[in-house]
Structure 1
Amino acid sequence: MPLLAQITAPDPNLALILKVFPALVVILLTSALCGRLAQLVMQPRVLGEMVAGVLLGPTLFGWLFPGTQAAIFPPEVKPVLYVLSTIGLTLYMFLVGAGLDHSARTPGEVRKASVLAASGILPSVLLGFGVGLLLHGTLSRPDVSPFQFALFVGGALSLTAFPMLARILYERGLENSPIGRLTLLAASIDDALAWCILAILSAMHLGAGPTGALPTIGLTALFAIVMLKVVAPLLRPMGRTVERTGRLGPTAMYAVVLIPLTAGWLTDWIGVYAVFGGFFAGLAMPRDPAFRQALHGRMMEVVSTLLLPTFFTFSGLNTHLGGIAGGAMLLAFGLILAAGFCGKYFGCALAMRGLGFGRRESYAVGALMNARGLMILIFINIGLAQGMITQELFAMLVLVAVLTTAAALPLYKLALPARLERAVEPAGEPPLEEQVIRSNSG
């Protein structure tokens, strides 16, 4: 081939890079702008990033400038965004798990968290199931049974956005306070149960039947036991080394990147999505304060600034809000939103009152547990990819995610103003990772 032809011949890999880089630039600029606007109205930066993802999709950007939107986000770029977003979610959940302070556990915490989790998931599943049965003829695909459709709606509404919740608590320095730890633990139980529901639905939809999900649930339990009882002790010397030297060396950095990615790969193979592998990998990390500080200082900025906005945009590209116009669709959306909000908010608040907490603390926790942001987006993306739900239901649940998450912090502050919030802060020094989290999320 002549030299000129070799130079001008398009390289597929280079062509893909030249398409991915502009997409990432647009994602970061839009996320930074929307995140800053969210902070100006006293919302977490991550909420602005969620809205940015929706705005970059077909609802606004694709409607105003369809040609430009198609040029920036062509079909071949979307798989790359999916891979980057999955890596980002896995590493973020890894950092959340690594940041939990196990030494601050209070007596009866697991029992109380289980009660709170049950109060958050049961009313939401029941209300969502009822609304799903009512709306099956309006919103469901014809090949999905009323039971499967209703259970999917209930499962989606039962989720609490664990990463979102952790981010709000980190911002306020409450992740190791009694209500902070209780809420995080309850949210993790809720989400684990919701993923079990999704595993059952996936097995039923693919023709394996409800019992087809039993291997998935069993392997997930086995994976968690191995991470916490086998891998965790093997990693303790690494924590002592960092405690002694004050830094993560090259070998340790390889380990803290390789372990969550491998764990995510294994849980994806099991069928419960990579984010839970990342979370359990974080729980297995050493608990030494210096290790936690070094880990968050090295990884959090890149994960929260680059990779999470990529996921929000990937979800936004699948969100068509124009499909829910009209009286019937708006009524359906209102029913889903009301079922989701009431089930979580009032269910969790009443459970906290039953556990002996004050009225303000109870409704503050109800507000936090009602945030669904990240996890419901993951849940419904899987449902859409597997053909279990329609684009219309997907768009409605995206709006539910945005609205319930936007309401979480104002309702929390209304129930527990700053002057009262200090009474529930953890004693002693603030968490080592708090400054890093606050600098990245507002």
Structure 2
Amino acid sequence: MTVLAHVVPPDPNLAIMLKVFPALVVILITSQICGRLAQMVMQPRVLGEMVAGVLLGPTLFGWLFPEAQAALFPPEVRPVLYVLSTIGLTLYMFLVGAGIDHGGGRPGEIRNAATLAASGILPSLLLGAGVGFLLYDLLSLPDVSPFQFALFVGGALSLTAFPMLARILYERNLEQSQIGRLTLLAASIDDALAWCILAILSAMHLGSGAGGALPTIGLTLGFAVIMLKVVAPLLRPMGRTVARTGRFGPGAMYAVILIPLTAGWLTDWIGVYSVFGGFLAGLAMPRDAAFRQALHGRMMEIVSTLLLPTFFTFSGLNTQLGGIAGGAMLLAFGLILLAGFCGKYFGCALAMKGIGFSWRESYAVGGLMNARGLMILIFINIGLAQGMITQELFAMLVLVAVLTTAGALPLYKLALPDRLEAGTRSEPAQERPVEIEVRSN
């Protein structure tokens, strides 16, 4: 008697889950270890998480154990990591936007912050663009114009890691000092302008030249107006309720998840990346400090613990540092790093001195504003995904992100050691503090 066994075909959903879960476990363990090591050497946790992503990519893990890396991150797992990364970035930029107090302060303070912001973005933008024109033949893709390539390099180098900067200032109790308020306001302006540059570049690259980009740019501007002038007023009652009770009810929690994800989907449909929608959704949130504190307390931990390390690893899988070996590539990397460092550090230091601060305080701010952290990684990942930059330039800018972030706090402490820092913590009574709640990386 022959028994015919009924073979049940494997469930493809179960198969992909059994591959994604081990990848996430390794990502989280590596991020935790590297994050703790970074804190042990007086660096922010986010720096260790950035390094963890690079280490899990082809640069180290893939070089030492290529078969193990290929088994842990097979091609079918990477789209899942990409989706998780995109959701994480959209929610993260939502929280960054929600944490910015764009109500302003005293007129003099806003003017000084604008001066500092201009000194941080213009020299970096011009130096970066100049280096971009110089390196166009070596590093650019053929379908990217010299203008777009140069503007992308300049825009990437003009960023400041606003959330990480806020964390450093809060940890050192400087968020309400003159230095703290000016630096935070200037960094938020720099980042907002850099995102505008990237939105224009994305629209130009995905459209048929500058003319083809006009509908995308127009739709993006229209969407921004709707979010800030229509959606924002509708959310104010929710903000008052959360501020009064100190907690999010089920309806409010659904709203703060659905709004940034929907905004991200709409900006993707328009033709710019979903992080723009998340950032605009954050700017549309109620400005009450109690609401912002409750929002960050409820959402930031899961975003920064699970989703951002996934993004760092996805970036690391695209980072092949071996591609920048050789004299020409190393010289190109040195020029990009030098342009980015000098533009921010000396530009901001000279602006602070002109405003009336001491040289030590000025160089301390220059060091802080030079940190690029997560923000430049988001910027260049968008450029890579949309085909605006090569893998080689991507790897160079990842290194710029790591090195400038690692140097921010040492440069600050070198210019303003603990014995001198105490004098900067006092807040003039006539100035209203800038309320910024960022408890992330």
Same fold (TM over 0.5): yes
Deviation at 1:350, TM superposition (A): 1.3
Whole-Å separation in 2 of the counterparts to 1:206 and 1:281: 23
Query: Taking structure 1 as reference, are residues 192 and 297 closer, same or farther at Cα in structure 2, changes over 3 Å only?
Result: closer
Aligned to 1:276: 276
Whole-Å separation in 2 of the counterparts to 1:238 and 1:311: 31
Aligned to 2:187: 187
- Tell me if the contact between 2:273 and 2:382 (Cα under 8 Å) persists in the aligned partners: no
Deviation at 1:96, TM superposition (A): 2.7
Task: Supply the AA of the counterpart residue of 2:346.
Answer: F
Residue 413, structure 1, aligned to residue 413, structure 2: yes
Q: Secondary structure at the match of 2:115?
A: helix
Whole-Å separation in 2 of the counterparts to 1:369 and 1:99: 18
- After superposition, give the CA deviation of every residue in 1:202-235 in whole Å (9 maximum; x if it has no partner): 4444462224334444443433333333322222
1:306-317 to 2 correspondences below 5 Å? 306-317=306-317
Identical aligned residues as a percent:
83
Q: TM-score, normalised by structure 2?
A: 0.89
Query: Taking structure 1 as reference, are residues 237 and 412 closer, same or farther at Cα in structure 2, changes over 3 Å only?
Result: same
Query: Taking structure 1 as reference, are residues 293 and 136 closer, same or farther at Cα in structure 2, changes over 3 Å only?
Result: closer
1:193-208 to 2 correspondences below 5 Å? 193-206=193-206, 208=208
Aligned to 1:245: 245
Residue 126, structure 1, aligned to residue 126, structure 2: yes
- After superposition, give the CA deviation of every residue in 1:76-128 in whole Å (9 maximum; x if it has no partner): 11111111112212222222333345677233343333322222222112211
- Tell me if the contact between 2:162 and 2:191 (Cα under 8 Å) persists in the aligned partners: yes
- After superposition, give the CA deviation of every residue in 1:313-363 in whole Å (9 maximum; x if it has no partner): 110000000111122221111111101100111112212222233323322
Q: Larger deviation: 119-128 or 242-251?
A: 242-251
Whole-Å separation in 1 of the counterparts to 2:205 and 2:16: 34
Deviation at 1:419, TM superposition (A): 4.2
Query: Taking structure 1 as reference, are residues 385 and 283 closer, same or farther at Cα in structure 2, changes over 3 Å only?
Result: closer
Query: Taking structure 1 as reference, are residues 326 and 363 closer, same or farther at Cα in structure 2, changes over 3 Å only?
Result: same
Q: Which runs of 5+ in 1 are unaligned?
A: none
Residue 372, structure 1, aligned to residue 407, structure 2: no
- Tell me if the contact between 1:204 and 1:212 (Cα under 8 Å) persists in the aligned partners: yes
Task: Supply the AA of the counterpart residue of 1:395.
Answer: A
Whole-Å separation in 2 of the counterparts to 1:383 and 1:103: 31
Task: Supply the AA of the counterpart residue of 2:149.
Answer: F
- Tell me if the contact between 2:101 and 2:436 (Cα under 8 Å) persists in the aligned partners: no
Whole-Å separation in 1 of the counterparts to 2:384 and 2:289: 41
Q: Larger deviation: 34-43 or 116-125?
A: 116-125
Aligned to 1:86: 86
Whole-Å separation in 2 of the counterparts to 1:64 and 1:312: 20
Task: Supply the AA of the counterpart residue of 1:25.
Answer: V
Whole-Å separation in 2 of the counterparts to 1:368 and 1:272: 29
Aligned to 1:255: 255
Query: Taking structure 1 as reference, are residues 225 and 181 closer, same or farther at Cα in structure 2, changes over 3 Å only?
Result: farther
- Tell me if the contact between 1:292 and 1:432 (Cα under 8 Å) persists in the aligned partners: no
Whole-Å separation in 1 of the counterparts to 2:260 and 2:192: 18
Task: Supply the AA of the counterpart residue of 2:378.
Answer: I
Aligned to 2:148: 148
Query: Taking structure 1 as reference, are residues 327 and 194 closer, same or farther at Cα in structure 2, changes over 3 Å only?
Result: same
C-alpha RMSD of matched pairs (Å): 2.8
Task: Supply the AA of the counterpart residue of 2:340.
Answer: G
Residue 105, structure 1, aligned to residue 126, structure 2: no
Query: Taking structure 1 as reference, are residues 188 and 264 closer, same or farther at Cα in structure 2, changes over 3 Å only?
Result: farther
Aligned to 1:137: 137
1:43-442 to 2 correspondences below 5 Å? 43-101=43-101, 105-206=105-206, 208-425=208-425, 437=439
Task: Supply the AA of the counterpart residue of 1:281.
Answer: A
- After superposition, give the CA deviation of every residue in 1:19-66 in whole Å (9 maximum; x if it has no partner): 111111011000000000000110000000000000000000000111
Task: Supply the AA of the counterpart residue of 2:131.
Answer: V
Q: Size of the alignment, in residue pairs? A: 435
Whole-Å separation in 1 of the counterparts to 2:268 and 2:213: 14
Q: Secondary structure at the match of 1:120?
A: helix
Query: Taking structure 1 as reference, are residues 136 and 349 closer, same or farther at Cα in structure 2, changes over 3 Å only?
Result: same
Query: Taking structure 1 as reference, are residues 228 and 24 closer, same or farther at Cα in structure 2, changes over 3 Å only?
Result: same
Task: Supply the AA of the counterpart residue of 2:54.
Answer: V
Q: TM-score, normalised by structure 1?
A: 0.89
- Tell me if the contact between 1:93 and 1:163 (Cα under 8 Å) persists in the aligned partners: no
Task: Supply the AA of the counterpart residue of 2:45.
Answer: R
Q: Which runs of 5+ in 2 are unaligned?
A: none
Deviation at 1:148, TM superposition (A): 3.1
- Tell me if the contact between 2:324 and 2:330 (Cα under 8 Å) persists in the aligned partners: yes
Deviation at 1:73, TM superposition (A): 0.8
Q: Secondary structure at the match of 1:108?
A: helix
- Tell me if the contact between 1:199 and 1:213 (Cα under 8 Å) persists in the aligned partners: no
